Structure 1
Amino acid sequence: MRFLPYIIGLFMLAPFALWAGFYLAFPGPKPGLDVPVVTALLAISLPLAAYHYIAGLAYVANSIAGRPGEIVPDWKPARWLMRAMPAATGVLAIGASALLWRAGEGAGAALATLAGGLAIAALLEHLSRAPSLSLPRLDLAHLLHQAMRGLGHGLLAVPVLGWMLREARRDPHRGIPLLVLNLGLALGLATAVFGMIVPMAAAMLSVPLVFYALFALTGE
């Protein structure tokens, strides 16, 4: 019974196997993956997704076997696969950066992809060396809190924005409406000057902050 989660996990991957088969069987342009940047980013993120997928299956399998779910997988092939993910990420990062370079995307895109892939590889290496699947999450939560605290201190150091943030913290009833009004006016002015790319960039940059807010509210 302890292998049942892995069997179910393999079965759940069947649609992806069918999709890959159709992708290889039918010629012609492939929407999405015909863009080199999309292919490169997908390649370097696959090992991270695979690691967490196996870790989730291992949690259930360990529990069925009567062991703590958060420890490393009891099944050796699962452990081997998880330990192989850092090296796989490094290889894919090198290949993805070479793909972008050959596709003419520029050295910046190639180097950024390589750096992102190596960062993911380092993260997976840290995760694979931990004795428990729960310890890395605690470490990452601490690092996330520290990073957001550093970001907050950095924003307070910005001359005008920092003054408004301090005023909002000192007197929320007076400072927060003025802060929101000023940020809205600044966003509108920047949109009028630079175009719709400004609100789009602001929305994209706000996504990590929203996730952190949800994490902070529900993580206690």
Structure 2
Amino acid sequence: MRYLPYAVGGFMLLPFAIWLAFWSLFPGPKHGLDVPLVSAMLATSMPLVLWFFVANLGFLANSIGGGDQYDRPDFRPVRGLVALLPWAALALGVLSQPFLFLQGEVNALMPLPLLTGAAIFFAIRRGEQARTADRALCKPQSQPQDAPAEEAPARPSALARLGGFCLKLVYAVPLVGWLIEDAVKGRESAKLFLALNVFILAAAAVAVFGYPALIVMALALVPIVFAGIFWTTWA
């Protein structure tokens, strides 16, 4: 039963495997991926996507097998794959440089896949190290008989203060900042309206400017995603 999540996950990836096979075998224009920088960024980011996918499957598999859900996967091939993923991201980032050079993409954005691969390398390793902290937090701790008096709340860390300052700067942006603040502090419907507005703006940008708008939006999300990864995995 503990291998069932991996079987289901493999079945879910089957349509993507079939699409990739047809996409690779049949000639024709590869819209979007005909830009070398986009191809390099996509290849470098795949280990991160695969790590999230495998980590969630391992969480379920450990739970079904009666083990610690926060521990590393019990299935040895999956454990080995997780260990290789950060190095794969770093290797793809390094290999992207000669690839872009041979494609004539020598510009200021050329190091971006290399920096992305290095960031994914440290993010995955940090996320794996956070498993130990998660196990320690979830283990029940015995309460001492002579419990000390309740301490005063700790002062926010420098990182928390910096995050609060950045949020205030975002909220101060006219219109956009007001919408974000309303979504964070307002009613639940405000989040839905913000998501709807973002989707409409993104669709309008793609309709007017085409694929370049979609590519720019994807690249702009890279630092946001990595910031979220480092924030959530910070011990």
Which TM-score applies when normalising by structure 2?
Answer: 0.58
1:121 aligned residue: 121
1:99 aligned residue: 99
Write the deviation string for residues 82-114 of structure 1: whole angstroms up to 9, x where unpaired. Answer: 110111001111122322222222242221221
1:57 aligned residue: 57
CA distance in 1 between partners of 2:93 and 2:51 (Å)? 16
Say if 1:69 and 1:93 are closer, same or farther in 2 by CA, change over 3 A: same
Structure 1 residue 134 displacement after superposition = 4.2
CA distance in 1 between partners of 2:161 and 2:56 (Å)? 27
Say if 1:31 and 1:3 are closer, same or farther in 2 by CA, change over 3 A: same
CA distance in 2 between partners of 1:146 and 1:80 (Å)? 38
2:199 aligned residue: none
CA distance in 1 between partners of 2:124 and 2:117 (Å)? 10
1:43 aligned residue: 43
Query: How large is the Cα RMSD of the aligned pairs?
Result: 3.6
Q: Is 1:110 aligned to 2:125, yes or no?
A: no
Equivalent residues of 1:93, 1:117 under 8 A apart: yes
Moved more, 46-55 or 60-69: 60-69
Say if 1:78 and 1:98 are closer, same or farther in 2 by CA, change over 3 A: same
Structure 1 residue 144 displacement after superposition = 7.2
Write the deviation string for residues 162-181 of structure 1: whole angstroms up to 9, x where unpaired. Answer: xxxxxxxxxxxxxxxxxxxx
Say if 1:28 and 1:133 are closer, same or farther in 2 by CA, change over 3 A: farther
1:183 aligned residue: none
Equivalent residues of 2:70, 2:131 under 8 A apart: no
Equivalent residues of 1:98, 1:110 under 8 A apart: no
CA distance in 2 between partners of 1:106 and 1:146 (Å)? 39
Percent of aligned positions that are identical: 35
Say if 1:132 and 1:73 are closer, same or farther in 2 by CA, change over 3 A: farther
Structure 1 residue 68 displacement after superposition = 2.6
1:75 aligned residue: 75
Unaligned segments of structure 2, at least 5 residues: 136-156, 174-208, 210-215
SS for the counterpart of 2:109 is helix
Equivalent residues of 2:45, 2:116 under 8 A apart: no
Equivalent residues of 1:4, 1:61 under 8 A apart: yes
* Partner AA of 1:20 in structure 2: L
SS for the counterpart of 2:27 is coil
Structure 1 residue 128 displacement after superposition = 3.0
CA distance in 1 between partners of 2:4 and 2:112 (Å)? 40
CA distance in 2 between partners of 1:133 and 1:36 (Å)? 40
Say if 1:131 and 1:110 are closer, same or farther in 2 by CA, change over 3 A: same
Equivalent residues of 2:48, 2:85 under 8 A apart: yes
Moved more, 102-111 or 5-14: 102-111
CA distance in 2 between partners of 1:103 and 1:53 (Å)? 32
